Amino acid sequence: MSDLAHGLPLSAPQIVLKQVVKQFGSNRVIDHLDLSIPQGQKVALIGPSGSGKSTVLRLIKGLETYQQGSIEVAGSSVPTRGGGWRWPGSKKAPVVHRVGMVFQQFNLFPHLTVQENVTEAPFRVLKLTREEALARAHQYLGLVGLSHKADAYPAQLSGGQQQRVAIARALAMRPQVMLFDEVTSALDPELVGEVLAVIRAIAHEQQMTMLLVTHEMKFAQDIADRVLFMEAGKIVADGSPEQILINPDNARTRRFLNRVEQR
Amino acid sequence: MNFDVAFAWSIMPELFQGLLVTMQVVVLGFLLAVLIGLILAIAQRKRAGSVNSLTRRLSSAYVSFFRNTPLMVQLYVLFFALPLAGITLPAISTGVIGLGLYYGAYIAESFRGAIEGVPAGQWEAARALDFDTATTWQRIVLPQALKPMLPVLGNYLIGMFKETPLLAVITIPELFQAAKQIAGMTYRYNEPYTVMALMFLAISVPTSLLFKYFERRSHV
């Protein structure tokens, strides 16, 4: 769509949504949406609540069914009934993990320690050895600054720490695409900074594609290569942070940004 | 009313034999009930537009049948009616199966509630990490569902234990049967029935304390 406009190489895009329609009953939450994202791009999705931002992320991960159109991630298609459940595969066969996701409510596994939260999927899904999985846990817990909490349980951590563990857990799977769904919205204001700092650090990773749904406009402006403004299940503005956030020529975007700033 | 301590001691070995049979039937029946309850609960889990609606209906039919007929009737059917169809089982196996089938229906309902109590976000996190279904159940959902289940399971285990006198009707030589036989042969009622009651207590109370301990320990 706008690969050239942002000076990025014109290669096969990594994420492609074509004419996607998603409805709950008669309520259409995604309305013939087209979107194409090249590898390595950092994309921020903004817009009023209920505009379908989170749904776009959930569709890409395969957590939602959809009625029309097609979705492709790294060359393989996400079926309309959602990513579906993987049936138990062979003990040896590792899974190709393409998309990682971090949720608003963290969704850590409360009965597992921080370290077990991070090692569980590399061990069970990627079939790494215990030692390899542990090494990854150390690496990514170090990255989010929580090595010293490895043996704690999620309930013993602050919201900001829990979210950082959730980020480490997703990164330990080494996904090609990372989805961040309003990851700071459930946090107390003083804890937002530490989580954003971690995401900023990851954003330096050139290869990783990132999609973020966020209400932190300043943050979006800092790390995003591209900003999408959504309304009523459609992308109504698509451009660089300067075009969308600083000099919006779209009247609705301007109104939305004014409202956000007034808060 | 007199209580002959020496006589009470002398009937201990016989009563103890009965207690062992009771405990054997209860432990095996309980394991069977938990297994049946778990399978039924998983079969009943709602999933939109899948093939599962048949298994779900079968599972609810099972639950309502076994919860809405008396255990004694079920035991009679298993013990006296099945042999007419050519299926003959030893009395103890029949008791284990009877208790397992009946309590499985109750345990299924509690499991279902406990499984529904695991937040949707846990399933989504498991899916986001590409866990397969079996791993999600085994490592994420069931460990969390089992925690609130512990006291419930403890109650069912003790409840089951206290229902075992019913098994006397299908000729299982359990504790109650043993006490009745001693009473019938010696015409002394005080000692066998008192010792029997104490034996029931001696098992029930520690079991209930044990489950309380498990429960406390699982609250990390």
pLDDT digits (tens, 9 = 90+) for B143-192: 999 888 988 999 999 999 999 999 988 888 889 999 999 999 999 999 99
Instruction: Give the CA-trace dihedral at A7, A12, A16, A19, to 10 degrees.
Output: 90
In which band, very low, low, confident or very high, does the pLDDT at A122 lie, cut at 50, 70 and 90? very high
Determine the distance in angstroms separating the CA of A197 from the nearest CA of chain B, rounded to an integer. Answer: 23
Residue B27 confidence (pLDDT): 96
Residue A59 confidence (pLDDT): 94
β-pair type (A177-181, A209-213): parallel
Nearest neighbour of A103 by CB, restricted to B121, B130, B134? B121
Residue at B162: amino acid letter: K
Nearest neighbour of B139 by CB, restricted to A107, A124, A155? A124
Query: What span, in angstroms and rounded, lies between the C-alpha atoms of A163 and A192?
Result: 10
Tokens 């069912």 found at: B156
Between A95 and B139, where is the model more confident?
B139
Interface probe for B, chosen from A96, A103, A111 (most Cβ of B below 10 Å), is A111
Tokens 């690969």 found at: A3
A89 and B147 within 8 Å at the Cβ level: the answer is: no
Residue A25 confidence (pLDDT): 86
Determine the distance in angstroms separating the CA of A156 from the nearest CA of chain B, rounded to an integer. Answer: 10
Query: What span, in angstroms and rounded, lies between the C-alpha atoms of A65 and A232?
Result: 18
Residue A158 confidence (pLDDT): 94
Q: What is the pLDDT of residues A179-218, one digit of tens each?
A: 999 999 989 988 999 999 999 988 887 789 999 999 888 8
In which band, very low, low, confident or very high, does the pLDDT at B201 lie, cut at 50, 70 and 90? very high
**How confident is the prediction for chain A on average, in pLDDT?**
88
Residue A3 confidence (pLDDT): 45
Query: What span, in angstroms and rounded, lies between the C-alpha atoms of A30 and A21?
Result: 5
Lowest mean pLDDT among A233-242, B49-58, B163-172: B49-58
Q: Is the pLDDT of residue A5 over 50?
A: no
Whether A101 and chain B come into contact, CB under 8 Å, resolves to yes
In which band, very low, low, confident or very high, does the pLDDT at A91 lie, cut at 50, 70 and 90? low
What is the ipTM score, two decimals?
A: 0.88
Whether A153 and chain B come into contact, CB under 8 Å, resolves to yes
Residue A1 confidence (pLDDT): 45
List of chain A residues whose C-beta atoms are within 8 Å of the C-beta of residue B135: 88, 124-125
**How confident is the prediction for chain B on average, in pLDDT?**
90
In which band, very low, low, confident or very high, does the pLDDT at B120 lie, cut at 50, 70 and 90? very high
Determine the distance in angstroms separating the CA of A242 from the nearest CA of chain B, rounded to an integer. Answer: 32
List of chain B residues whose C-beta atoms are within 8 Å of the C-beta of residue A88: 132-135
Q: Is the pLDDT of residue A224 over 90?
A: yes
A170 and B133 within 8 Å at the Cβ level: the answer is: no
pLDDT mean over A21-30: 91
Note the pTM of the prediction, 2 decimals: 0.83
Q: Is the pLDDT of residue A75 over 60?
A: yes
Residue A249 confidence (pLDDT): 78
Q: What percent of chain A has pLDDT over 70?
A: 90
Query: What span, in angstroms and rounded, lies between the C-alpha atoms of B23 and B120?
Result: 39
CB contact at 8 A, B144 and A111: yes
Q: Could you report how far apart the first and last alpha carbons of chain B are, in Å?
A: 52
CB contact at 8 A, B42 and B116: no
Q: Is the pLDDT of residue A263 over 70?
A: no
Q: Is the pLDDT of residue B50 over 70?
A: no
List of chain B residues whose C-beta atoms are within 8 Å of the C-beta of residue A100: 128-129
Residue B2 confidence (pLDDT): 82
Q: Is the pLDDT of residue B52 over 70?
A: no
Residue B127 burial (10 A CB sphere; 0-12, 13-18, 19+) = buried
Residue B216 confidence (pLDDT): 84
CB atoms within 10 A of CB B77: 12
Determine the distance in angstroms separating the CA of B36 from the nearest CA of chain A, rounded to an integer. Answer: 22
Residue B219 confidence (pLDDT): 60
Q: Is the pLDDT of residue A4 over 80?
A: no
Residue A159 burial (10 A CB sphere; 0-12, 13-18, 19+) = middle
CB contact at 8 A, A104 and A186: yes
Residue B54 confidence (pLDDT): 83
Lowest mean pLDDT among A2-6, A214-218, B14-18, B215-219: A2-6
Determine the distance in angstroms separating the CA of A144 from the nearest CA of chain B, rounded to an integer. Answer: 18
Residue A2 confidence (pLDDT): 44
In a 13 Å sphere around the CA of A255, the CA atoms on its Cβ side amount to 6
Nearest neighbour of B127 by CB, restricted to A63, A110, A120? A63
Query: What span, in angstroms and rounded, lies between the C-alpha atoms of A188 and A191?
Result: 6
Nearest to A62 by CA among A31, A93, A99: A99
